[in-house]
Amino acid sequence: MKRYPVASIADIKERGRKIVKVKGMEVGIFFVDGHFVAYRNFCPHGAAPACEGPICGTRLPTDVYEYEYGRENEILRCPWHGWEFDLKTGRHLVDEKVKLRSYTIEQEGDNLYLLLR
């Protein structure tokens, strides 16, 4: 595994995300619930730039005609077709077999590194 410097911790925490280019591919880096996560900027549904979509919440499972909103700042919504992914795991909210390609982030001091083969 090779380490690639991608951002400072302060930069990600301030902006909520940063999209970087490493080895010819775009990767979105996010700070979610106290942890850094990284996903390829590629939606498995339609090849959209998923990491550029809104960071939001979603409607929670409820009874008919009841609407409850939750999970604020834990959901990444694809900007093209609205597919929603859990930012903590990269999994699609409806079909857990579908997920964003994840990468390992390593922290050293105030810097973040992406680990790639």
User: What's the pTM?
Assistant: 0.92
Amino acid at 65: Y
Average pLDDT value for the chain: 95
Residue 103's pLDDT is 97
Sign of CA dihedral 16, 106, 52, 56: negative
The C-alpha atoms of residue 52 and residue 95 are separated, in whole angstroms, by: 21
CATH code, 71: 2.102.10.10
Q: How many domains does the chain have?
A: 1
Residue 69's pLDDT is 94
DSSP state, 51?
A: G
Which residue stretches of the chain have pLDDT < 50? none
Range of the domain at 11: 2-116
Residue 74's pLDDT is 96
